[in-house]
Chains A and B, each alone.
Chain A
Amino acid sequence: QKEVEQNSGPLSVPEGAIASLNCTYSDRGSQSFFWYRQYSGKSPELIMSIYSNGDKEDGRFTAQLNKASQYVSLLIRDSQPSDSATYLCAVKSDYKLSFGAGTTVTVRA
């Protein structure tokens, strides 16, 4: 069983719509959860972090965490073509950060 699992996509959404990305993790003791954005040929960029159950909003991004279900999600509202990228879910346990394989998002104009 993979430590962090994501749907690989691609996820195609029209401009202005909401993109919804999901991530599940196996270690129930995980403490911190991160979303990274990675443009093609570039390195990952930290866009969101969440540590407690519930929602956390930052601009057009909302991260949601449910520790009981071992589930974390990212919503991108009012999607723009510049949001087209691969989104990596990362989960920290015992100071080790484990990444999912990423979900590729394409925002079509």
Chain B
Amino acid sequence: EAGVAQSPRYKIIEKRQSVAFWCNPISGHATLYWYQQILGQGPKLLIQFQNNGVVDDSQLPKDRFSAERLKGVDSTLKIQPAKLEDSAVYLCASSLKPGPSSGQYFGPGTRLTVT
């Protein structure tokens, strides 16, 4: 079974530029998550999708971050404009369902450096 796919793996941009990340979840997984992991910290949930609807985006900085999941499969996360503090690893994860017993499986992540 193929895992969660993400691209690009690395990205370096200057502050105020824009960037987009792509995620393809495990086949059949209805729930998709985007996390931000800053060095030395645990992952922080940015947004959770159930199929193509948003379940939780309470920690998404909506003035600069946006995400979509068209057709309930692939998802993109965009940052515009980027700030220095956005330097982090952006992790996509998926689970079969959103319930309490469903574990989440992570993709390899995109390491973003904002200079």
| Main SS at interface, chain A | strand
A102 touches B42 (CB 8 A): yes
Residues of B within 8 A of A (CB): 33, 40-45, 48, 55-56, 89, 91, 98-101, 103-109
Known contacts A43-B91, A95-B55: does B44 contact A32 (CB below 8 Å)? no
A11 at the interface (CB under 8 A from B): no
- Selected from B41, B45, B108, B109, the residue in CB contact (under 8 A) with A97 is B45
CB-based closest 10 A-B pairs: A99-B42, A31-B100, A43-B106, A32-B100, A95-B98, A46-B103, A43-B109, A101-B42, A99-B43, A44-B106
Q: Is the CB of B108 within 8 A of A43?
A: yes
Show 21 A/B contacts (Cβ-Cβ < 8 Å), sorted by A.
A32-B101, A34-B103, A34-B104, A43-B106, A43-B109, A44-B106, A45-B106, A46-B103, A49-B103, A88-B43, A90-B42, A95-B56, A95-B98, A95-B99, A96-B48, A97-B33, A97-B104, A100-B42, A101-B40, A101-B42, A102-B42
Q: Given A95-B48, A96-B48, are A46 and B42 neighbors across the interface (CB < 8 Å)?
A: no
Q: Are A99 and B48 in contact (CB under 8 A)?
A: no
Chain B residues, Cβ within 8 Å of A88: 42-43
Binding site for B on A (CB under 8 A): 4, 31-32, 34, 42-46, 49, 51, 88, 90, 92, 95-102
